[in-house]
Structure 1
Amino acid sequence: MNLYKIGGSKIFIGTRVALPTDLIVELADFVPQEPEWLPINGWTNAGALGDAREAITQNFIDADRTLTIGGTMNSAEMPNVFAPLPNDPGQIRLLQAMAGCANYAFKVEWGAGCVSESVVTISVASPGVITWPGGHALEPNSPVVFTPNSGTLPTGLVAGTVYYVREAGLTPTTFTVSASPGGAAIATTAAGTATTITATASPAGQTDLFYGLAMSRVKNGGEANTAQMLNASIKPNTNIIEI
């Protein structure tokens, strides 16, 4: 069991998106967002994020009791506070989202200050095995990104793409990866040309992805020694994917 602090967390805004007709998003829906994410900087207070089931109640005379059953899923608005940064690209896009009526893609990396990073080696094999010297302490389904230095990754892997640690074959210093949580292992078919490869991994279950609306744009008041901040709420309109 691990505990993660809120400090070091990051929030990102992607592009405008069309809501799926069933209001259900999958991990694949966020692959096109990988080169589009902009961090919204100046984040000083994070609101709660998650789904809650609406309660349906019925009163029974003969039992002198109210019965509750589960209704539809709904996400409360996520209130956030930012220090105003007029030139920050992420805040500029967030304000644009508030001015319109379109849904945007959002990503929250909780406890991003706990990200692990190391130079690794990747074998050419089926599956390709990543060796992390000194131990990685990663759990199954932890998202990991590979960055080559002065060259390319082994064939089968793409720089900057998010992969996921597989439970099969996981050891303290080695692991294989898949394109989706719990997916098939990725094989590497030819050696890359990079002089070194850096792996960057976030804790499993600490990244949330969803489509939603940027709802409000409010500047707080206060007494003389109160800093003026930007209060911005984000309302998820789909399920929230946790990876």
Structure 2
Amino acid sequence: MALQAVAGSKFYIGTRVAPKDTVALADFTAQEAEWTEVKGWTQSGSLGDTQEIISQNFIDANRTRQIKGTRVGGSMENTFAPLPNDPGQLKFKNAIDSCSPYAFKVEWGAGCASEGEVTISTATPGVVTWPDGHGLEADSPVIFTPDSGTLPTGLTADTVYYVVGSGLTPTTFSVAATPGGAAIATTADGTATTITATAQPAGQTDLFFGLAMPGAKQGGDSNTPILRTWAVAVDSNIVEV
């Protein structure tokens, strides 16, 4: 996998969700129409599980043995420039006042997402043709946006689909509703004049449930901008797509 910059990454908050120990991609399907980008993101925190270590001393062996304990998602400490009228920041503020977790999404390096005009055949499965090459791998997430009209029947505009490995060529691919899923058949032509595909590299989108936590404003000398630290206490596993 090629190196990818953090610049261009995007941070999204969804809706309030019921607490859940283990989440799967299906738990975020309903969030596709609910994501709101939190703008003004200046510094990203670390995101990922840590694991407790359980140790026990053994007298007879003169040795301390260790086993793995529970995992925890930790706290993702983020810094934002205060934007009082930003819908994402307003949504985060409301989430801070809630006792419930919310859905979150991070698209790492989203400024480097591939984008181009494509055609989609009516076939079993439907085949997406990206004439100048797509550079995607199996399971890469991709969305299709018609400029007007509709996509071929079987596909929904601005919904996340996943590249299917079977039949993948440098300029063509089919898509599935889930990573590793069955390729989708398109049963009728769409009415869109043009279709734009936007795709993130595989493994660069993280989805999780978490608690929105309050944070302090940061000051400094006269030439320091005022920033605010907001953390997300990750309360589930992290789904990586």
Alignment of 1:62-141 (within 5 A): 62-141=60-139
1:33-66 per-residue CA deviation (whole Å, 9 max, x = no partner) reads 1111110000000000001121111112222222
Between the aligned partners of 1:166 and 1:129, the Cα distance in structure 2 is: 10
Alignment of 1:1-243 (within 5 A): 1-20=1-20, 23-243=21-241
How many angstroms does 1:225 deviate by? 2.7
How many angstroms does 1:191 deviate by? 0.6
Letter in 1 for 2:84: P
Instruction: Report the aligned-residue RMSD.
Output: 1.0
Large movers: runs of 4+ above 6 Å? none
Letter in 1 for 2:235: N
Between the aligned partners of 1:203 and 1:241, the Cα distance in structure 2 is: 15
Q: TM-score, normalized by length of structure 2?
A: 0.98
1:143-201 per-residue CA deviation (whole Å, 9 max, x = no partner) reads 00001122110010010110000111111010010000000110001111111111110
Letter in 1 for 2:193: T
SS at match of 1:6: coil
SS at match of 1:28: helix
Between the aligned partners of 1:105 and 1:84, the Cα distance in structure 2 is: 21
Specify whether residues 149 and 223 from structure 1 end up closer, same or farther in structure 2 by C-alpha distance, changes over 3 A only. Answer: closer
Quick check: 1:59–1:66 contact (8 Å CA) kept in 2? yes
Quick check: 2:18–2:101 contact (8 Å CA) kept in 1? yes
Between the aligned partners of 2:139 and 2:64, the Cα distance in structure 1 is: 42
SS at match of 2:33: coil
Unaligned runs of 5+ in 1: none
Between the aligned partners of 2:119 and 2:222, the Cα distance in structure 1 is: 56
Letter in 2 for 1:231: T
SS at match of 2:8: coil
Quick check: 1:98–1:217 contact (8 Å CA) kept in 2? no
Between the aligned partners of 1:119 and 1:62, the Cα distance in structure 2 is: 70
SS at match of 2:94: helix
Quick check: 1:95–1:217 contact (8 Å CA) kept in 2? no
Unaligned runs of 5+ in 2: none
Letter in 1 for 2:35: W
1:55-103 per-residue CA deviation (whole Å, 9 max, x = no partner) reads 1111122222221111111011000000000000000111111122111
Quick check: 1:213–1:235 contact (8 Å CA) kept in 2? yes
How many angstroms does 1:212 deviate by? 0.4
Structure 1, 209-218 or 42-51: larger mean CA deviation = 209-218
Q: How many percent identity over aligned positions?
A: 63
Quick check: 2:140–2:201 contact (8 Å CA) kept in 1? yes
Letter in 1 for 2:11: I
Between the aligned partners of 1:103 and 1:14, the Cα distance in structure 2 is: 10
Between the aligned partners of 1:78 and 1:60, the Cα distance in structure 2 is: 37
Between the aligned partners of 2:70 and 2:144, the Cα distance in structure 1 is: 39
